[in-house]
Chain A
Amino acid sequence: MSISLFYFVAFLTIFFSLLVIFSKNPVHSVLYLIVTFFTFTLHYIMLNAQFLAIVNFIVYMGAIMVLFLFVLMLLNLNEGSIGSKSNLLKMVGVIAGMCLIITLVGSVKALNDSDPLILQTQDLGLVKNLGKVLFSKFLLPFELSSILLLSAMVGAVLLAKKDIKQG
């Protein structure tokens, strides 16, 4: 195990996220996105954020990706059914993204050289430690997020339901 593991996983993350946005078939995009999220899970494990790694694995790779894949299969979109934007617009989009990178990287470079990341306490990202913080300092946001999830569920059912009067 050496420091190069981080760079290898970072390379994989960038490579697969590029494949997500550039692959023609949306089903391939979803599959590449699953691999990208798996590399994010590896990053969390390397940061010793074990709770986040498990949650990322279950929620993103499990639930959200199944939802994407399910909708994609349900809608039956073929490869050629949706055209692509003109090359000019694509170039403009890529250049705009590059400008964003340059701006952010420039502002990071303006800072002093950063210290190496050092894990000060081993149990920072464990369930016990995070649970204590979540249920003491962040109790109100936690309860509010439950209301958010409930309203999202109601909203999704209402939106996806067929209108009875019209249909």
Chain B
Amino acid sequence: MENLTQSIQGVPLNHYILLSTIIFAIGVIGVLIRRNAIVIFMSIELMLNAVNLLLTAFSVHHNDPAGQVFVFFIMALAAAEVAIGLAIIVMIYRNTNSTDVNILNKLKW
């Protein structure tokens, strides 16, 4: 384990910020270009994970365990969000026989 953690010695904090930015933007692009509601959900998971990684990197940088506790709370929140979201998707599928978000663009109007 010591060998592995030696490998981050010297990675600038900026590079962690860049990596998280790129992954967050990939999540945003996924939400914008896909029509399948489940893939949109997966993009949201990508965004949450990018933020988690950045919080951990800052936690190590400032030598403060609070950041890693925040990540723990975000994971609990993501689990709740996925459970509710997938239940909603199952319900939508029961009504429309599809998970295409374009079918629901006007809700019930």
Which residues in A have some Cβ–Cβ distance to B below 8 Å? 1-3, 5-7, 10, 13-14, 17-18, 20-21, 26, 29-30, 33, 36-37, 40, 43-52, 55-56, 59-60, 63-64, 67-68, 71-72, 74-75, 77, 81-85, 89-90, 92-94, 96-98, 100-101, 104-105, 108, 111, 113-122, 124-125, 129-130, 133-134, 137-138, 141-142, 145, 148-149, 151-153, 155-157, 159-160, 162
A to B CB contacts below 8 Å, 20 in the list: A21-B34, A29-B38, A40-B53, A46-B8, A47-B56, A77-B99, A82-B100, A90-B33, A108-B17, A108-B21, A115-B12, A115-B61, A116-B12, A118-B9, A119-B5, A125-B56, A125-B60, A141-B73, A156-B83, A160-B90
Complex Cα–Cα for A100 and B25 (A): 7
For residue B81, which residue of chain A has the nearest CB?
A152
Complex Cα–Cα for A40 and B75 (A): 13
For residue B80, which residue of chain A has the nearest CB?
A152
For residue B14, which residue of chain A has the nearest CB?
A114
User: Do the beta carbons of B5 and A52 come within 8 Å of each other?
Assistant: no
Contacts of A124 in B (CB 8 A): 59-60, 63, 65, 68
Shortest distance from the beta carbon of B86 to any chain A beta carbon, whole Å: 5
Contacts of B84 in A (CB 8 A): 152, 155-156, 159
Which residues in B have some Cβ–Cβ distance to A below 8 Å? 1-19, 21-30, 32-36, 38-39, 41-43, 45-46, 49, 52-53, 56-57, 59-61, 63, 65-66, 68-69, 71-73, 75-84, 86-91, 93-94, 98-100
User: Do the beta carbons of A71 and B49 come within 8 Å of each other?
Assistant: no
User: Do the beta carbons of B38 and A71 come within 8 Å of each other?
Assistant: yes
User: Do the beta carbons of B19 and A96 come within 8 Å of each other?
Assistant: no
- A interface: dominant SS: helix
Contacts of A151 in B (CB 8 A): 80
Contacts of A77 in B (CB 8 A): 36, 38, 99
Shortest distance from the beta carbon of A117 to any chain B beta carbon, whole Å: 5
A21, A67, A117: the one within 8 Å of B16 (CB): A117
- Which 7 pairs across A and B sit closest by C-beta, in order of nearness? A93-B32, A21-B30, A152-B80, A97-B29, A114-B13, A159-B87, A93-B33
Complex Cα–Cα for A120 and B61 (A): 8
User: Do the beta carbons of B33 and A89 come within 8 Å of each other?
Assistant: yes
Complex Cα–Cα for A90 and B34 (A): 8
Would A29 and B49 be within 8 Å (CB), given that A6-B11, A63-B79, A93-B29 are in contact?
A: no
User: Do the beta carbons of A18 and B14 come within 8 Å of each other?
Assistant: no
For residue A50, which residue of chain B has the nearest CB?
B1
Contacts of A114 in B (CB 8 A): 12-14, 17
